[in-house]
Structure 1
Amino acid sequence: MIRQNIHLIVAARPNFMKVAPLYHVLKRQDWCRAELVHTGQHYDANMSDTFFSDLGLPPPDYHLGVGSGSHAEQTGAVMVAYEEICLRHRPDWTVVVGDVNSTLACALVAAKLCIALAHLEAGLRSGDRTMPEEINRIVTDRLADLLWTPSSDGNDNLKAEGISGERIELVGNIMIDAFELQRPQIDSLCVAERFGVERGRYGIVTLHRPSNVDDRSSLAQIIDVLIATSHRLPLVFAVHPRTRARLHDFGLDAALARQDGIRLSEPLRYNEFMNLACGARLAITDSGGIQEETTYLNIPCLTLRPNTERPITITQGTNRLVRPDTLAEMVDQALTGGLRTTRHPALWDGKTAARVAESLFRHSGRDLTRTCA
Structure 2
Amino acid sequence: MKRVVSAILIIASLLATIFGLNQATYAGRPARATAQATDALLQMLPDFDGVIVINGGQLNTQFQALLAERADLVAKTQTYLSEITAKTGIDLNSVQQVVIGFSLAEDLKPSEYAIILSGAFDQDQILARLSLDSGKSWKAKEYNGQMIYTEPAREGQTKQEKQRRRSLSFFDNQSILAFGPRLSIKRVIDTHAGIQANITLNSELMGALSRSNGNASIRFAFKVPEKIRQRLATATGSAAILKPFSAVTEVRGSADLSSNGFAANISLITGSSREAIEVVALINMGITLLKFSLIGKPNSDLLNEILNGINALQSGSAGNVTVNIPAEVIKRLIEEYRKRLPGQSAANRYSRPRSL
Q: TM-score range by the shorter chain?
A: under 0.3
Query: Given the two structures, how large is their TM-score scaled by the length of structure 1?
Result: 0.25
What is the TM-score normalised by the length of structure 2?
Answer: 0.25
- Greater strand proportion: 2
Q: RCO (CA 8 Å, sep 6+): is it higher in 1 or 2?
A: 2
